[in-house]
Amino acid sequence: MSTPPTTDPTAIPCWTVGDVTVHRIDEVLLPPATGPWLLPDATPDVVAGQDWLRPHFADDEGVLHIDSHSFAFTVGGLRTLVDTGIGNGKERANPAWHNLNTDYLQRLTAAGFPPDSVDLVILTHLHADHVGWNTHEVDGDWVPTFPNARYITSRVEREFWAGYDMEEAREQMFRDSVIPVEEAGLLDLVDVPADGVEVVAGLRLIPTPGHTPGHIALELTSRAETALITGDCIHHPVQLAHPTIGACVDIEPEQSEASRRRLLGSLASTDTLVLGTHFAPPTAGRVVTHEGAYRLSPVPADSH
């Protein structure tokens, strides 16, 4: 299956955070059916009640716009990639993820991050649409795409899945996208305390459990400016207006909601730039209070 690019591959969306330029590396716009499956409580009526979601984050019929992309930046001298999307040629149960053929690596390279140059890959959690480009196929084998990088995830996250009774589709994902990285000795497991942990100067892992037990968000700080990469603590801006809306695949829904509320409360009415891991363009914004909850005030990207 060939998936056309979502945007002009020569135009790489980016935002400036202090001295750091954060690039969005597009993979694919997910199909309209993704919203009702992933966020079943985000009904068309609920979406229609938030005018600010249109036209960027939803259409006039209440269909949610949801993307798959990564973020790439250099911090502390390390060329860093946050989450690695779905990947090409992967056998997946979800037809929207199955056997993709995108130009993701070309986009990454065009942004100035050819795979061999990446120093650090941070995985917010170990789901199929966040680890896919961990590996690529070479002569029938799945090998690390970023052979010179350290791959980092939460220790709680990896140990949870190690003891989980996986269905075959998830077993397959671990076989092709996680275990080859482990076998290459490239996966580092990090203990993430309640107040977070700095893994590189200016880059802090923030625990946001619930979607998965070891889920993390990322806080990037440079010259007193801050950005927050959500991971799947927040899948879509509609959850700012309705933090009770959770994903159908949340392992611990109540904890996921608590993490989302805590995160949004810490971000509201601050200058922190929020970068949504699945937010459709314009992807970024600032959290402001709105009608007893929150909304996203978009910050459009520049292009490099």
- Sheet strand arrangement including 216-222: 197-200, 203-207, 216-222, 225-229, 273-275, 284-290, 293-298
Write the pLDDT tens digit of every residue in 1-59.
333 344 454 689 999 999 999 999 999 999 999 999 999 999 999 999 999 999 999 99
Count CB neighbours of 288 within 10 A: 15
d(CA 278, CA 295) in angstroms, rounded, equals: 16
CATH number given to 13-303: 3.60.15.10
d(CA 84, CA 146) in angstroms, rounded, equals: 10
Write the pLDDT tens digit of every residue in 52-72.
999 999 999 999 999 999 999
Write the pLDDT tens digit of every residue in 235-273.
999 999 999 999 999 999 999 999 999 999 999 989 999
Domain extent listing, the chain: 13-303
Whole-structure pTM value: 0.95
- Tell me which of 120-124, 162-166, 180-184 is least confident: 162-166
Longest pairwise C-alpha distance within the chain = 55
